[in-house]
């Protein structure tokens, strides 16, 4: 089965998405997600200029060999652009192989290990009242687990909060659904770690008082703390029994989590900006985390993320795959098939795409009673309507960045 075309499709229905479509000589097609939020066109060039020419004429069945060729022959390994490009090829080839077999992909990956995937949504509010309303809305949608993000007194706009009038006026999209803003330059936000650390425990206390002890609650620190600040946060949230606390420190320094572990039993999740198993080497081997946050899209595809998760399984570390709106429906489908098949599934992030996106990407998955299932269509179960996608050309968009009160740039 020879590859005869590898087309890169860029579409921006509610936001920018980059999709690789691989076509074989027997007429099968496979899709792979290559969306890298705010840096989309770098991956487009990597795929179009450097990868597609290598694929033409090669055997679509040789997934592992293709992965190794793309990873090793580049010489310049790893990094988000490279690994998103490799992931797109990998997922497209898995899609093709499963279609050729006439099976949903999870069957090829070993079959279902569970009936559905527990998923969590993003509840947020600038005030407690807004936050409680948002949690109730999520419970009404069926979610059985929610991430809780809240405004901090004194800070104008903050990661993950629904109320951000400037953003909504500019982009027309709720900030909590889409932090990347269309425009020529990134939006500037403000940050103060001490105010945040003072405020957050009281928010979780109020949420527990209102919604009781059962509901799994998650929180994302979004890379902003030093190791000792992160340890303090994890310790102060212990009474509220979090499902996980995510990205407490910037991800580059894996050893930072040793300090957090020494001080707290709050479960930790990390890895949405990791690209390979090497980024996890210390945190998995030293059991410094409880959940692997990588997306299939940013970690070299199913072939590589499955190896990361198998490594994690040896230490009872579970999956918590990244699933914000910047993971396309193709990337979400890949995550669902992988999550259904592995033993060490933990939870799946699921934010829900907009109506226009769902018109461009026709999908077979279901979401019912808070549980996702990829569906039983052969392959990934996603088809891209190229004509519909063509109505929405690429628009430049950037993720925001942070400055402290004195003007210092801070991690976002
Ligand atoms: C999450 C993430 C996202 C990222 C976004 C960046 O936990 O879902 O932190 O909200 O900020 O994916 O592109
Ligand atoms: Mg996150």
Q: What is the pLDDT of residues 207-227, one digit of tens each?
A: 999 999 999 999 999 999 999
Provide the 3-class DSSP secondary structure of residue 183. Answer: coil
Is any ligand 1 atom within 6 A of the Cβ of residue 273? no
Nearest C-alpha to atom 9 of ligand 1 is from which residue? 222
Residue 158's pLDDT band (cuts 50, 70, 90): confident
Contact in structure between 158 and 166 (CB atoms under 8 Å): no
Helix (H) or strand (E) run with residue 125 in it: strand 117-125
346 CB-side CA count, 13 A: 24
Ligand 1, atom nearest to 349 Cα: 8
All structural domains of the chain, each given as residue ranges with its CATH number in brackets, are: 3-104 (3.30.390.10), 117-378 (3.20.20.120)
pLDDT tens per residue, range 283-295: 999 999 999 999 9
Contact in structure between 63 and 69 (CB atoms under 8 Å): no
Alpha helices (H) along 141-294: 165-171, 193-211, 227-236, 256-263, 281-285
Q: Which residues, chain by chain, have CB under 5 Å from ion ligand 2?
A: 220, 272
For the chain, the average pLDDT equals 96
Is any ligand 1 atom within 6 A of the Cβ of residue 189? no
Contact in structure between 337 and 348 (CB atoms under 8 Å): no
Provide the 3-class DSSP secondary structure of residue 28. Answer: coil
pTM for this one? 0.97
What is the Cα–Cα distance from 90 to 286, expressed in whole angstroms? 29
Nearest C-alpha to atom 4 of ligand 1 is from which residue? 324
Residue keyed to tokens 């909504």: 168
Between the CA of 22 and the centroid of ligand 2 the distance, in Å, is 30
pLDDT tens per residue, range 80-135: 999 999 999 999 999 999 999 999 999 999 999 999 999 999 999 999 999 999 99
pLDDT tens per residue, range 250-260: 989 999 999 99
The dihedral of CA 112, 113, 114, 116: what is its sign?
A: negative
Residue keyed to tokens 């921006």: 12
CA distances from 244 to 5, 129, 141, 269, 311 (A): 42, 23, 22, 6, 20
Contact in structure between 34 and 8 (CB atoms under 8 Å): yes
Which of these ranges, 176-190, 309-323, 330-344, 365-379, has the smallest mean pLDDT? 176-190
Q: What pLDDT is recorded for position 176?
A: 77
Nearest C-alpha to atom 8 of ligand 1 is from which residue? 324
CA distances from 86 to 17, 47, 66, 74, 348 (A): 16, 8, 9, 11, 22
Residue 163's pLDDT band (cuts 50, 70, 90): low
Catalytically active residues are 159, 222
> Which comes out higher in pLDDT, residue 166 or 37?
37
In sequence order, the β-bridge partners of residue 368 are 371
Is any ligand 1 atom within 6 A of the Cβ of residue 399? yes
Supply the angle between the helices 80-101 and 301-313 in degrees, to the nearest 10. 100
């Amino acid at each position: 089965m020879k590859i005869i075309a590898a087309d890169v499709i860029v579409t921006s229905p509610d936001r920018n998405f980059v999709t690789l479509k691989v076509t074989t000589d027997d007429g099968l097609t496979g899709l792979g997600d290559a969306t890298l939020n705010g840096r989309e066109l770098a991956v487009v060039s990597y795929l179009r200029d450097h990868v597609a020419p290598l694929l033409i004429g090669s055997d679509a069945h040789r997934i592992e060999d293709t992965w190794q060729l793309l990873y090793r022959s580049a010489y310049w390994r790893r990094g988000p652009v490279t690994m998103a490009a490799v992931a797109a090829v990998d997922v497209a080839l898995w899609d093709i192989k499963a279609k050729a077999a006439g099976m949903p992909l999870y069957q090829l990956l070993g079959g279902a290990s569970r009936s559905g995937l527990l998923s969590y949504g993003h509840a947020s509010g600038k005030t407690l009242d807004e936050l409680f309303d948002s949690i109730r809305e999520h419970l009404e949608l069926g979610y059985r687990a929610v991430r809780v993000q809240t405004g901090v007194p004194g800070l104008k706009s903050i990661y993950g909060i629904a109320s951000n009038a400037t953003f909504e006026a500019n982009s027309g999209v709720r900030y909590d659904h889409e932090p990347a803003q269309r425009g020529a330059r990134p939006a500037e936000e403000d940050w103060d770690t001490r105010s945040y650390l003072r405020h957050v425990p009281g928010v979780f206390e109020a949420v527990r008082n209102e919604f009781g002890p059962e509901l799994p609650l998650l929180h994302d620190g979004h890379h902003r703390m030093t190791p000792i600040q992160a340890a303090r946060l994890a310790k102060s949230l212990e009474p509220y029994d979090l499902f996980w606390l995510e990205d407490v420190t910037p991800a580059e320094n894996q050893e930072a989590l040793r300090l957090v572990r020494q001080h707290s039993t709050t479960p930790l999740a990390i890895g949405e900006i990791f690209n390979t198993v090497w980024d996890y080497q210390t945190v998995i081997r030293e059991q410094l985390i409880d959940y692997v946050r990588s997306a299939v899209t940013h970690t070299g595809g199913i072939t590589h993320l499955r190896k990361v998760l198998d490594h994690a399984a040896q230490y009872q570390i579970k999956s918590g795959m990244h699933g914000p709106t910047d993971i396309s429906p193709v990337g979400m489908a890949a995550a669902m098939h992988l999550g259904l098949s592995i033993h060490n599934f933990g939870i799946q992030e699921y934010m829900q795409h907009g109506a226009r996106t769902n018109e461009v990407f026709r999908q077979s998955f279901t979401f019912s009673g808070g549980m996702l299932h990829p569906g039983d269509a052969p392959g990934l179960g996603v088809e891209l309507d190229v004509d519909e996608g063509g109505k929405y050309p690429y628009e430049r968009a950037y993720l925001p960045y942070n400055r402290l009160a004195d003007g210092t740039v801070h991690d976002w």
